[in-house]
């Protein structure tokens, strides 16, 4: 049986707040050719109002599936997600439609996620039509406001997505996600498809919008380079499992898990005085259909021990607010 996660993962700054989102032992398995693919295997996480939690891992680690299951684009195999204290999986269709206004997603590829045959006005206006909230002149005014909010020219609302650059298209996607005044947004690798020079602009825009609108984000990324600048806390996943969770500074200054250490060693440091040794991981990520026994990272871990193939490491708080699952830290 997988380890039951009972520890709370809140950090001191959040101690007096109630979480907006509580993910409890969430599992999402897919059936493929009579096998089970364990995309998410026991995710437990509180996300507090106004907070950004970064969710990081290589492709295939389950982070996007986790994001989609948390907002119920996928039904879970097991577990709960509480939004304002209520399990969203218990909502009937009509109730869920109301919650959908408050929970939104920004997608990785702004071009693929925007209908090329629709104008910007139609794209951003679609949520108002689906949820029947605004129409006519009021809708048009709100679309203009949203375009200004994301730094686009409202006079361009009759243009089509292909008439914009990649960064501008992502801004259109953000405006669409903001249309219904959401509280919580899953940002699914929103900067991965953009040029490096544009990535910082989009991250800054998301931060600005968070401050203005009090938004809460789950920010999914495949590496640790940009995620530090937006995240209050960062959760690292490997093969469907949580491996480390703490605030951003602790993760960068004192990573505990060997996988996090390897991911961090690949992040360039702008200071030529600091020379960090690159840890190159052996082999590919194993198939989640047949994950390794014991610790799922053991086949690539440079410091694996005998126990690692036999016993799954426990998720535990090694330092205040700093959690990891690794036998090196078990007491
Ligand atoms: Fe490496 Fe063992 Fe820790 Fe897994 S439990 S990360 S294999 S040392």
131-187 pLDDT, tens digit per residue, is 888 888 999 999 999 999 999 999 999 999 999 999 999 999 999 999 999 999 999
Name 127's Cβ contacts closer than 8 Å, sequence gap at least 6: 101, 133, 176, 179, 180
The Å distance, Cα 307 to ligand 1 centre, comes to 9
Ligand 1 within 6 A of CB of 304: yes
Identify the residue whose C-alpha is closest to ligand 1 atom 8: 304
Average pLDDT over residues 193-216: 92
- Over residues 252-270, the pLDDT tens digits come to 999 999 999 999 988 777 6
CA 301 to chain centre: 24
Ligand 1 within 6 A of CB of 11: no
Please indicate, yes or no, whether the overall pTM of this predicted structure exceeds 0.85: yes
The Å distance, Cα 229 to ligand 1 centre, comes to 28
Cβ atoms of 227 and 306 within 8 Å: the answer is no
Burial of 284 (0-12, 13-18, 19+ CB in 10 A): exposed
- The residue ranges of every structural domain in the chain are 12-102+182-329
CATH 3.40.50.300 fits 12-102+182-329, yes or no: yes
CA 229 to chain centre: 14
Task: Name the band, by pLDDT with cuts 50, 70 and 90, for residue 6.
Answer: very low
End-to-end CA distance of the chain: 21
301 Cα nearest atom in ligand 1: 1
- Over residues 65-108, the pLDDT tens digits come to 999 999 999 999 999 999 999 999 999 988 998 899 999 999 88
């Amino acid at each position: 049986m997988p380890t039951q996660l009972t520890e709370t993962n809140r950090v001191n700054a959040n101690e007096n707040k109630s979480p907006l989102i509580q993910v409890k032992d969430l599992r999402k398995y897919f059936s493929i050719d009579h096998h089970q693919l364990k995309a998410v295997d026991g995710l437990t996480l509180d996300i507090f109002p106004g907070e950004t939690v970064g969710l990081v891992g290589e492709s295939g680690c389950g982070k996007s599936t986790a994001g989609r299951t948390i907002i119920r684009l996928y039904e879970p195999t097991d577990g709960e997600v509480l939004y304002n204290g209520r399990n969203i999986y218990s909502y009937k269709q009509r109730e869920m439609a109301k919650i959908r206004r408050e929970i939104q997603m920004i997608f990785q590829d702004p071009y693929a996620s925007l209908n090329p045959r629709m104008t910007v006005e139609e794209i951003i206006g679609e949520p108002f039509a689906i949820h029947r909230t605004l129409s006519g002149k009021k809708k048009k005014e709100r679309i203009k406001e949203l375009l200004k909010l994301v730094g686009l020219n409202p006079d361009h609302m009759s243009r089509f997505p292909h008439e914009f650059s990649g960064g501008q298209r992502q801004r259109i996607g953000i405006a669409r996600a903001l249309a219904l005044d959401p509280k919580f947004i899953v940002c699914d690798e929103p900067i991965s498809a953009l040029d490096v020079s544009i990535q910082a602009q989009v991250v800054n825009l998301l931060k600005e919008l968070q401050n203005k609108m009090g938004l809460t984000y789950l920010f999914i990324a495949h590496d640790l380079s940009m995620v530090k600048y937006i995240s209050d806390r960062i959760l690292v996943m490997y093969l469907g499992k949580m491996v480390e969770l703490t605030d951003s500074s602790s993760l960068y200054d004192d990573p505990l898990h060997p996988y996090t250490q390897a991911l961090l060693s690949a992040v360039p440091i702008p200071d030529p005085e600091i020379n960090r040794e690159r840890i190159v991981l052996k082999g590919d990520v194993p198939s989640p259909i047949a994950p390794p026994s014991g610790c799922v990272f053991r086949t690539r871990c440079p410091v694996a021990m005998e126990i690692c193939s036999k016993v799954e490491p426990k998720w535990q708080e090694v330092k205040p607010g700093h959690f990891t699952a690794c036998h090196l830290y078990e007491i």
